[in-house]
Amino acid sequence: MVPIRSVLAKPFAAWVISKRRQWELKPAETQNVWFKNLLDSARNTEFGRNHYFKDIRTPADFRQAVPIRDYEGLKPYVEKVTHGEEDILWPGKPLYFAKTSGTTSGVKYIPISKESIGYHISGARDALLSYIHETGRAEFLDKKLIFLSGSPEMTMKNGVHVGRLSGISNHHVPSYLRTNQLPSWETNCIEDWETKLDRIIDETIHQPMSLISGIPPWVQMYFDRIQTRTGKKIKDVFPDFQVFVYGGVNFEPYRAKLFDSIGKKVDSIETYPASEGFIAYQDSQTNPGLLMLLNQGIFYEFVPVEEFYNENPRRLTIGEVELGKNYVVIMNTNAGLWGYNIGDTVKFVSKDPYRILVTGRIKHFISAFGEHVIGEEVEKAMAYAVSRQPETQVVEFTVAPQVTPTEGGLPYHEWLIEFANPPQNPEQFRQDLDTQLTKLNVYYDDLITGNILQPLKINSLRQGAFIDFMKSQGKLGGQNKVPRLANDRKIADELGRFH
């Protein structure tokens, strides 16, 4: 049988990449076209009228008229949309609401329009085509592909379909991939994650799996269950496994354990999808960072992290960003989100083309003493400590401040870590973490040397602690993930019960 998918994919990939090159060479101009298109499309919506879109000519005008808002700030408009009103944030009604669980807002309903849905799908598609074009490897398309995702089942809310982003995307998998996609529709609709996982393994364990996609901790759980059932490494269960596609979290803390479970090196492709839009994907196996998608129905603004809580922070366009600086991502989209703070921080590592690293969440930091430690810093410190004792395998970890230790003494940062394989020298591991963090964050260093903080402490959690914690929160599986760090002890105190 002729491997038709892989044969056709290569010329298609070449065409898609040639189209991409056209806007890669004109990033600022491309963004300016979207800026004008978006304002023009929404000028007669309620939001557009309230914010004088018809009078806006430049990004500076836009900044004057439209403040930065998070979901809570846009909620009065979103609620009108969810109640069935039309022409509020974007012309007409949305096609979908992507349902997400916010930490402060409860359930959030993110609108996805008929204009924006195609970009959600093409972002994921083009990540694969980019890999095919660069490597010349397309044979994985002729075997079985698995997307570990939320349920594709949807509900209706005043005439609009509501579901998880991964479930909505499932409805738009191209027909040429549908026939070799797993798990089955019925299995994907199972709500209980552990039941669903066992059923997925039943369906996939004897199949020629070539591409596996999902959030790393949930893929690891899939691999662990397969190993428990078979006693084999993943490469022996799935000898055709070639590509691992992931997103949602930094891969580095999971890399060692995941590849140990697989038993061989496989290529990986990182993606950066969000309910608000498909932001970036890894376009190269050799260059660091994710290609920022500047021609996807979104006009971006970037706020320097250190200015974010100022009264009037600068809002930079793509042509004004600098390499190596952390920015908060602000989105204006063709689904009607305006001045929208998605909550993520990114750092540009290239301008030709524009590539980013996702460095954390603006709300996920520790600054109980003015140190402003961010996700990127704790993950780099962890990577360093593991590199010093390579036998160490970390399942998951999170960091929180301990302001008033029950044992007395100075406050400290508590690292709650679940090891699959603990370090041979735990004290050296702790020292390496602390030393590296002082090198990465000058404020933390000042607090340690000034005897305001004592060096960090590790709370080693039992096997399965994070899974049990997520289960206790009703957030096991799907797109859910544990924040890497927090400025309070809500998560830490809950996790402490799984010692």
- Kindly report, residue by residue over 396-433, the tens digit of the pLDDT: 999 999 988 888 888 899 999 999 999 999 999 999 99
Provide the β-strand partners of residue 111.
Answer: 97
Distance (Å, whole) CA 415 – CA 161? 41
pLDDT at residue 103 in the model: 45
171: three-class secondary structure by DSSP: coil
Tens digits of pLDDT across the chain (499 residues): 557 788 888 999 999 999 999 999 999 999 999 999 999 999 999 999 999 999 999 999 999 999 999 999 999 999 999 999 999 999 999 999 998 865 444 688 999 999 999 999 999 999 999 999 999 999 999 999 998 888 888 999 999 999 888 888 888 877 767 778 889 989 988 888 888 999 999 999 999 999 999 888 888 889 999 999 999 999 999 999 999 999 877 777 788 889 999 999 999 999 999 999 999 999 999 999 999 999 999 999 999 988 888 888 999 999 999 999 999 999 999 999 999 999 899 999 999 999 999 988 777 778 778 787 888 889 999 999 999 999 999 999 999 999 888 888 888 999 999 999 999 999 999 999 999 999 988 889 988 987 889 999 999 999 989 888 888 887 776 566 788 888 888 888 888 887 7
Contacts 24+ apart (CB under 8 A), 12-15: 12/129, 13/129, 13/130, 13/132, 13/133, 13/138, 14/133
Asked if 188 and 147 touch (Cβ cutoff 8 Å), the reply is: no
Res 170: pLDDT: 81
pLDDT at 106: 65
Per-residue confidence (pLDDT) for residue 101, from 0 to 100: 65
Beta bridge partners of 323: 348
Calpha distance 81→89 (Å, rounded): 8
Tokens encoding 270: 């990182």
Q: Which domains does the chain have, with CATH numbers?
A: 365-498 (3.30.300)
Q: What is the pLDDT of residue 1?
A: 52
- In angstroms, the CA 492 to CA 414 distance is 8
- Rounded Cα distance, 205 and 187, in Å: 14
- Alpha carbons 157 and 144: distance in angstroms, whole number: 35
Please check whether residue 91 is in contact with residue 41, taking contact to mean a CB–CB distance below 8 angstroms. yes
Distance between CA atoms of residues 341 and 250, nearest Å: 20
Angle at 460 between CA 459 and CA 463, to 5 degrees: 145
3-state SS string over 113-157? Answer: CCCCHHHHHHHHHHHHHHHHHHHCCCHHHHCEEEECCCCCCCEEE
Give CA–CA dist 144/207, Å, rounded. 7
Q: Pairing mode, if any, of strands 181-182 and 144-147? A: parallel
Confidence at residue 173, expressed as pLDDT on a 0 to 100 scale? 77
CA atoms within 13 A on the CB side of 229: 18
* Runs of H (alpha helix) within 245-334: 252-262
CA distance 53 to 187: 46
Contact 89, 42 (CB under 8 A): yes
**CA gap 238, 139 in Å, rounded:** 15
What pLDDT is attached to residue 362? Answer: 78
Cut 0.75: pTM above it = yes
Q: How far is CA 354 from the centre of its chain?
A: 18
